[in-house]
């Protein structure tokens, strides 16, 4: 990932963010693998990862665990969802 400016946020505010605008997000080529690995880390080892994603305002980073991944969203602890189409990269 190129060096971009991002805003660190807490997981608890994600549900108040907007994902309504249709924006193109350049994603890491191995994002699917990153999501799978991060889900295992979250469920088996309770390890947090850094998720870089765009809401309608700009680039955000949250450090949390991923509990589940579907076709269009990832689920974080507490039932918080992030659209996969908005995720740039996940770092362990």
Q: What CATH number is associated with residue 42?
A: 2.30.30
Q: At 3, is the pLDDT very low, low, confident or very high (cuts 50, 70, 90)? A: low
Residue 63 covered by a domain: yes
Extract the tokens encoding 17: 């963010």
Residue 86 covered by a domain: yes
Percentage, residues of the chain above pLDDT 70: 97
Residue 55 covered by a domain: yes
Q: State how far the Cα of 84 lies from the Cα of 11, in Å rounded to an integer.
A: 16
* CA-atom Rg of the chain in angstroms: 12
In this predicted structure, what is the pLDDT of residue 35? 98
Coil vs helix vs strand at 88: strand
pLDDT one-digit tens code per residue, 54-89: 999 999 999 999 999 999 999 998 899 999 999 999
In this predicted structure, what is the pLDDT of residue 73? 98
- Give φ, ψ of 44 to 5 degrees: -90, -45
């Amino acid at each position: 990932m190129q060096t971009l400016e991002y805003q660190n946020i807490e997981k608890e505010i994600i549900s108040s963010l907007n994902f309504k605008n249709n924006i193109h997000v350049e994603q890491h080529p191995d994002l699917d693998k990153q999501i799978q690995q991060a889900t295992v880390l979250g469920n088996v080892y309770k390890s947090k990862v850094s998720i870089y994603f765009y809401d309608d305002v700009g680039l955000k980073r949250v450090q949390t665990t991923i509990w589940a991944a579907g076709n269009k969203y990832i689920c974080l602890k507490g039932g918080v969802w992030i659209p996969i189409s908005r995720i740039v990269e996940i770092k362990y």
